[in-house]
Amino acid sequence: QKEVEQDPGPLSVPEGAIVSLNCTYSNSAFQYFMWYRQYSRKGPELLMYTYSSGNKEDGRFTAQVDKSSKYISLFIRDSQPSDSATYLCAMSSWNTGNQFYFGTGTSLTVIP
């Protein structure tokens, strides 16, 4: 079983839709959760960072962590064509040393 599972999509939504992206994980020790956005032929850009459980909101983006279910989500409200990218989840723990564990990424296209 992979440490982190993420549906690769592709996901296609109309402009203005609410997008839900998800990852599940198997290691209950994970405490730090990140969402990255990666445009084609660019490095990933850190969008959201969450420690432990709960919600975090930043503009149109909301990150949720449910440690009891080992499930994290990223919601994008009022999606825009510029949100079209691949979204990667990542996680780590103080006891995983230098290791960060990544999902495979979900490809999102927002259609104008």
Partner 1 sequence: GAVVSQHPSWVICKSGTSVKIECRSLDFQATTMFWYRQFPKQSLMLMATSNEGSKATYEQGVEKDKFLINHASLTLSTLTVTSAHPEDSSFYICSAREGDNEKLFFGSGTQLSVL
Q: Which residues bind partner 1 (CB under 8 A)?
A: 31-32, 34, 36, 41-46, 49, 51, 88, 90, 92, 94, 98, 100, 102-105, 107
Confirm if 30 and 91 have CB atoms less than 8 A apart.
yes
| Nearest approach, Cβ of residue 31 and partner 1 (Å) | 8
**Three-state SS at 107:** strand
In Å, how far from its chain's centre is CA 45? 11
In Å, how far from its chain's centre is CA 86? 10
Q: Between 90 and 110, whose beta carbon lies closer to partner 1?
A: 90
| Nearest approach, Cβ of residue 29 and partner 1 (Å) | 13
Q: Between 79 and 92, whose beta carbon lies closer to partner 1?
A: 92
**Sign of the CA dihedral 44, 49, 53, 54?**
negative
Q: Between 18 and 95, whose beta carbon lies closer to partner 1?
A: 95
